[in-house]
Amino acid sequence: MKGSRPEQSALTADNDLSKTAETESVINNMVDGLNDHEIDGIGAFFAESFQWIGNAGCGLKQGLQEFQDNWQRPFQDAFSDKVCIDEARLVQGEWAAAFGRQEAVHTGKFMGIAPTGKRVEIRYMDFWKVKDGKIVDNWVMVDFPYVMRQLGVDPFNGHGWEKNDSGAMPVRNGTDNNPESNND
């Protein structure tokens, strides 16, 4: 509503800026662990009680075990030969944020879609809160509709607003910019 001035940035109000180097190290090591397809040892980077707060289709994971069982394992079952690439990362105090992509091959069932063998790009954004050397909160947005389009499924049934755009979103590991024709 015009004129509203709700409180902003409440979660970062007590950010300890002296923790920047420690936070950066935790995030760097965690991304290396993801690229090594580590699941059982991921507790080196995440607190046992951490929260993983995802968008629709991803869900809310309460605790390390739920994250491993209900995100990491199914995700790695659906997508093999996976590499995580943070295209940009910012770190300040106990907080870090990144956006990037995972490049992978669709080799398992995903959102009801049978394995296609297609190479896909999985776009994401993450915000992490690190306390005492471990990630305690992780807000994430994974662009599942974009992945589904690369697999030949339009979750918007032709009603997505991108149809009015002047260009297609680039696929870095595909052969062109058209998600429907990514047949690697």
- Please give the full DSSP string across 33-91, using - where no structure is assigned: HHHTT--TTGGGTEEEEEEEEE-TTT-EEESHHHHIIIIIHHHHHHEEEEEEEEEEEEE
* The pLDDT of residue 180 is above 60: no
Predicted pLDDT at 174:
53
What mean pLDDT do residues 77-97 have? 97
| Average pLDDT of the residues of the chain | 92
Predicted pLDDT at 163:
80
Tell me how many helices (H) and strands (E) the chain has.
Answer: 4, 6
Q: What is the pLDDT of residues 134-152, one digit of tens each?
A: 999 999 999 999 999 999 9
What mean pLDDT do residues 161-178 have? 69
Domains of the chain (ranges; CATH) run 17-150 (3.10.450.50)
Predicted pLDDT at 170:
73
Measured at the CA of 146, the angle between CA 106 and CA 110, to 5 degrees, comes to: 35
Predicted pLDDT at 44:
96
Higher pLDDT, 9 or 169: 9
- E strand or H helix at 135: strand 134-142
Q: What is the pLDDT of residues 94-138, one digit of tens each?
A: 999 999 999 999 999 999 999 999 999 999 999 999 999 999 999
Long-range contacts of 63-71 (CB under 8 A, 24+ apart): 67/42, 68/39, 68/40, 68/42
* The pLDDT of residue 175 is above 50: no
Predicted pLDDT at 124:
98
Instruction: In whole angstroms, give the CA distance from residue 135 to residue 131.
Output: 6
- The pTM for the full model equals 0.87
CB 168 within 8 A of CB 130: no
